[in-house]
Chains A and B, each alone.
Chain A
Amino acid sequence: MKFKEHVLMELKAEIVARNKARRLLVRRRLLAGAAVAGIAAAAAVAVPFLNGSGTPAYAVTKNTDGTITLKINEFRDSTQVEKDLAALGLTADVSYVKPGTRCAPDRGHTDAGPSFSKEELNSKDPEVRKRIREAIDSSPNGKAFRMGGGEVRISPQHIKPGQTAVMEFTENEDQTSGPEKPRALWQFSGYLVTGPVKPCKVVDDPSWSKMPDPRTNPGAYPPPGS
């Protein structure tokens, strides 16, 4: 019967629309990525940014405390950012990759970060979450890169000679947001590589469209703007 085909088409369109909406939801790549990889977490510190209101900024800012601030849009021009950071004495490797892709891991020698069990990563216990957060923050990569408020703050004092600040950045094409359209606006991975850095080999990133189920994992959906 023809209506069955109609209904099927409508429903498939509905699935695509829902997937899109789901993609918009904020993802916790930091936790999910580490859980999937099952390896030492925080070899890369990756945190999605929740705040879509970042205005374009084209200057890399050096702060009085010695840290360097990079704003969201700067990553689009990765070569320029590398140059700007070099002018500040920082060796950086910046990649801008399309949504749904990422750089293949293993781009060079990285310090093993703290590792967590899957239970810990999925735990809703605020104590456990706090412990994970603190462990990551106090790891070498966590100290070198801090994220929040739509920007990345790099601390050169935590980067040793011979280390490169490797940064990978993905940005949603649609940057509008709102409570009815929660989604990952952009995603950033930052980690330190000691010695030579291999170029970014772009691979698919299925986790980009994989949003945690809000019913089972409400913690992955902090209120907008947080």
Chain B
Amino acid sequence: MRRRQANIATDPEAFEAFYRRHVDAITWFLARRVDDPNTVADLVAEVFVAVLDSAHTYRPGLGSEIAWLYGVARNTLSAERRRAFKETKLADRVGGRRPLDSDDVAQLEERIDAESVARRAFQAMAGLPDGDRAMLELVVIDQLTISEAAIALGIRQGAARARLHRARRALRNVPGIAPFVMEGMR
């Protein structure tokens, strides 16, 4: 399995299968966090470039592909945010902009709209400590199991449970958000 995973970084066919398996999940993951279609498209590319860079870190014994991939996506996104904060623009990122056609833009906007509840939830969560918020995001918004979220964040299950519990307790009185964080989105 580890060999197979290493394969996706070197074997175009294996990579294509991996990409097709997960590209929608990653696009949605990003649309929940970023509201600009072009940026979503660029970040999809960046996440999978990061997959090529870090395929060797995947340990199948530790959990599902998607949990690992969400971890990669989170790291990519936070690297991107740090960079965006510094440069306040994305244009000179390696790889550059992908021209999106109108269909792409329309479909991405649709997805971004569909994820607007999630983005509002992120705003409500903004005040939480980073670690607690990350846990809540992955479980409530991205619908990972607790153990998958723990893998994505590289923490132990016990710590993951504690963070989730703290985050939910902190938000239990926020109007409109409480039932959401308690039950998840869907």
- Residue numbers of A with Cβ under 8 A of B are 1-4, 6-8, 10-12, 14-16, 18-19, 22, 213, 215-216
A92 CA to B48 CA, complexed, in Å = 50
Partner of B103, one of A1, A22, A215: A1
Contacts of A19 in B (CB 8 A): 10
Please tell me if the beta carbons of A12 and B12 are within 8 angstroms of each other in the complex: yes
Task: Say whether, besides A1-B103, A4-B27, A15 and B9 are in contact (CB < 8 Å).
Answer: yes
A8 CA to B98 CA, complexed, in Å = 12
- Residue numbers of B with Cβ under 8 A of A are 9-12, 15-16, 19-20, 23, 27, 41, 44-45, 48-49, 52, 56, 95, 98, 100-101, 103-104, 107-108
CB distance from B90 to the nearest CB of A (A): 15
Please tell me if the beta carbons of B104 and A11 are within 8 angstroms of each other in the complex: no
A-B contact count (CB 8 A): 57
Contacts of A6 in B (CB 8 A): 98
Please tell me if the beta carbons of B15 and A3 are within 8 angstroms of each other in the complex: no
* CB-CB nearest in chain B for A8: B19
- Among A11, A16, A22, the most chain B Cβ lie within 10 Å of the Cβ of A11
Known: A1-B107, A4-B27, A14-B49. 13 other contacts (CB 8 A): A2-B101, A3-B108, A4-B23, A7-B23, A7-B44, A7-B98, A8-B19, A11-B45, A11-B48, A12-B16, A19-B10, A213-B56, A215-B56
